[in-house]
Amino acid sequence: MSQGDKDQQGRASLDWSRIRMKSRQQRGHKVAVGALGQTTSAGCTFRAWLDALPDFLGARELRQTVAAIVAARRAGRPVVFAFGGHVVKTGCSRLVIDLIQRGIITALATNGSGAIHDLELAETGATSEEVGDTIRDGSFGMVYETCERMNAAARAGAELGGLGYALGKLLAEGQTLYKELSLFVAAYRAGIPATVHVALGTDTVHMHPHADGAAIGAASLADFRTICAVAADLGAVAPGAAGGVWLNCGSAVVLPEVFLKAVSVARNLGHPLDGMHTANFDMLRHYRPTQNVVQRPVAAGCGHAVIGQHEILLPMLRQAIIEAWET
C-alpha cells in the first residue's frame, strides 16, 4: 500500500513494507540460559541451594549484598545494621546477635520501637501487644515497667553519651532474665556502637507522665552524632578497594532519613564515602528507603534492594554471609 492510500475511514494508512527488522543475534538479551535457576535434590546443603537460585532480580541483589558485606569486613570496613522494631517482633534477634559476635556487624542503629521491643524481650521474654484490642479503652502502651526502664536509659544516656549505649549497659549489668536475646547487650559486650534515633511522640514510652523530653532528646542527639562518625568511616581506604555497607532492615522513614543526614555530614566534613554499598531489606518497596538508602547516597550499582518477609530474608541473609565468610 502506498503512502497515499487510505483506510476504510479515509485516514492515511501506514506503509508496512517499510518496517525494519533485524536478527535475534543482533538484539541484546536480559535473560540467558546461564542465569536460569537449577534444581536441587532433597537434603542438599544451603550453599548448593543458594547457588541454584536464578541469577535475576532479588536473588541477584541478595548475592551482591552478601558479596559487599564480606568484602567490606575483609577490608576492615564497617557493616551497619539499621533496623526497625519488626526485626525483633518477627523473631530475628538471634540472627543479628550472631553476626555481631562473628564480627560481621560492626554497628547498630534503630528507632524507638526497635529499642523498646529489644528491652521487653530481654526483660520479659515477650513483647508486642495486640493494638486493636487495647487502643479502644486507652490501655495501649500503658505498661509502667517499659516506660520506667526506657526513660531511665534516656536519663543515663544523656550523661553517658547516648541512649543505645546506656540501654545496653542497663540490660547487660542488670538482672535481665533474657539478656542473651538483646541486640543492645550484644553490642555493649562487643564494644560496638549501638544508637537509638527517637522521634518524640511516636513511642509508647513517651506517654509516661515522667518522660523527660530533654533527656530523650539529648541522648538521641548524642546517638545521631555517633552514627555520623560511623557513617564517615564507610568509604574505601584506597581507590578501587571495598567500602563499608549500610543495611536498612524494616525502617520505612526514620532510619533512611537519619542515614541521609549522616551521609551529608560525613561528606561535608571531607569523607567522600567512595566504594560504600547500601541495601534495603523490607516487606514493601517504600519511597524513602529507595531514595535515601538505595539510590541517592551511592554510586550506580552499589545500592541493593531485596523485598520480602524479615523472618525469611534475614535467616537467608545470615546463612549466605557465613557461607561466604568462612570459605
Q: Which of 195, 163, 160, 188 is nearest to 174 (CA)?
A: 188
The answer as to whether 42 is a domain residue is no
Rounded CA-CA distance 223/164 in Å is: 7
Could you write out the DSSP letters of every residue in 264-321?
Answer: HHHHHTT---TT-EEEEEESS--HHIIIIIIITTS-TT-EEEEES-HHHHHHHHHHHH
Quick: pLDDT tens for 97-121: 999 999 999 999 999 999 999 999 9
Rounded CA-CA distance 280/290 in Å is: 8
Q: Is the pLDDT of residue 7 over 80?
A: no
Whichever domain contains 140, its CATH number is: 3.40.910.10
Rounded CA-CA distance 64/231 in Å is: 20
Rounded CA-CA distance 288/168 in Å is: 29
Question: What does the pLDDT average to over 90-94?
Answer: 97
Quick: pLDDT tens for 34-58: 889 999 999 999 999 999 999 999 9
The answer as to whether 143 is a domain residue is yes
pTM: 0.92
Give the CA angle between residues 298, 304, 308 to the nearest 5°.
Answer: 145
What average pLDDT is seen over the chain?
Answer: 94
The answer as to whether 6 is a domain residue is no
Domain containing 256: what range? 59-325
**Cα 19 → chain centroid:** 49
Quick: pLDDT tens for 54-91: 999 999 999 999 999 999 999 999 999 999 999 999 99
Antiparallel, parallel or unpaired: β 79-83 and 107-111: parallel
The answer as to whether 129 is a domain residue is yes
The answer as to whether 177 is a domain residue is yes
